[in-house]
Structure 1
């Protein structure tokens, strides 16, 4: 069986390796050029391709005529997309004799769309996972082949959960491939009415509203904690970013909301009188000590 693979990030790396381990002929990999303005904390699909002598291209637009011609000549049995960041045109998907399939980082139909892990943590979910599904014109709407769940623990950051989802994606693909290669690909209904769709997130979406409950603010911190841009707040013209925090058990209902220092510890007091104990706070690229924060507030 021959496949063309669209891949990026850690899920792209691990799932590409699964295809190779299952004996699939990966004829071409389509990936992205790394963005110099982005923090590259993840593994390289291009490096895996170089190691295994797999041709790799990085077109700016997957709808380009050049890519269509290249893939048409290859006549792939399968097309796979593993954390590739662009929607693939239906004309391209139709080139796959036995179907085109995407690995999505949620338990579909929940959290269709962009950055599903971050959204799941932000909303306080206790479970998410990876879903292999057929690609259609509508994003994350095709029939489900297989999915694997992972827990989201109370103090997990999105990065923690992402590491679990990478493993779940690897397991999902590994377990599904034998049936797919035999021509018996499962087709489980993907009932969109029971799910949800979310768009992308920007650094500006990480601004803290201290009027909200401590749990809500903590979920925001967990959802965007490093290596993501971080939850942030502005005080006296200075932008502070929470690098590491935990929910505090101490009631601070008698203090004004926002950043404060108590007993040489930094807290973020929230609208319900509870607070975050902030273990690491930064401003202008440098860590802020409790002593320094007192002079800045």
Structure 2
């Protein structure tokens, strides 16, 4: 049963994506008086596979804006509300110190990693690409430096070797709700812990672009496999080239053995040499075509002996 300790506590929420949806939903269950929500317009170039914060706000009759919270008119609105708390749940804009200073009891961000590890952008994708075996969700106070303020609470989640970034993001979203559920009553009561973040124990990662999915066949089969599962659906995908044509690789698995990097060893199964080990590609797509199983691709293209490489 949701706690009622947060009732009457004025809150402004900046939110987007599934983490934003689920954490806002949890605040409402906890009885938070959410006066205003800032969210984003969906990008026409992005696959929208996640829940809509805007629709959740509409359902609860909460005013929302898709303009930047840092715009002067919006800063004035936040000042007028005089919130006790400001929460940021996967909001994509950096929030200025001017805004962070407004809430009386604190401005807090939910980050999709076990801080201080993987500060910065797309932490779930980076954790999978780097072959991590765990990550998490962290609620922390916001300061001018991103993902650097005192930690309130955090929850670890495991990353299985077969998990894609989508699988891990689902786990992180559940962990984020757990953290908000535990932390919000303590924040309202003024008893929540503040643990200084030791940045030297962690790392900072930048954003990723679709172009960063290019496969380097001189890397090990495991490294390439981690890239593929780190950027597969619903993300833009890992890719390579065959006979100058772009090929998207959606799923694969590493195998023991050796062969020259990028060279196709067998067609069915579709096995390719790497810098260390072999990689079996199981699902792929010729750009502009449909995603197919590797056997169907090989029956048409006959890639044996050819090399996947940059154009």
TM range (shorter): over 0.9
- Which of these residues, 93, 105, 114, is aligned with residue 100 of structure 2? 93
Structure 2 counterparts to residues 118-157 of structure 1, below 5 A:
118-157=125-164
Deviation string 1:211-245 (CA, Å, 9 cap, x unpaired) is 11111111111111111111110121111111111
Distance 1:225 1:276 in 2: 16
Secondary structure of the residue aligned to 1:184 is: coil
Distance 1:263 1:54 in 2: 56
Partner of 1:28: 36
Partner of 2:280: 277
TM-score normalised according to structure 1 size:
0.95
CA apart distance, 1:290: 1.6
TM-score normalised according to structure 2 size:
0.91
Distance 1:14 1:8 in 2: 10
Distance 1:212 1:293 in 2: 25
Does the Cα contact within 8 Å between 1:267 and 1:275 map onto a contact in 2? yes
Distance 1:62 1:19 in 2: 20
Distance 2:207 2:200 in 1: 21
Q: What CA RMSD, in Å, does the superposition of the two structures yield over aligned residues?
A: 1.4
- Which of these residues, 264, 267, 276, is aligned with residue 268 of structure 2? 264
- Which of these residues, 109, 124, 144, is aligned with residue 117 of structure 1? 124
Runs of 4+ in structure 1 over 4 Å off: none
Does the Cα contact within 8 Å between 1:261 and 1:290 map onto a contact in 2? no
- Which of these residues, 187, 194, 205, is aligned with residue 194 of structure 2? 187
CA apart distance, 1:178: 1.3
Deviation string 1:69-113 (CA, Å, 9 cap, x unpaired) is 111111100000000001100100111000000000001101100
Question: Which structure 2 segments of 5+ residues have no match?
Answer: 1-8, 307-311
- Which of these residues, 73, 78, 92, is aligned with residue 66 of structure 1? 73
Secondary structure of the residue aligned to 2:40 is: coil
Distance 1:28 1:106 in 2: 26
CA apart distance, 1:295: 5.7
Q: Is 2:55 aligned against 1:47?
A: yes
Does the Cα contact within 8 Å between 1:259 and 1:266 map onto a contact in 2? no
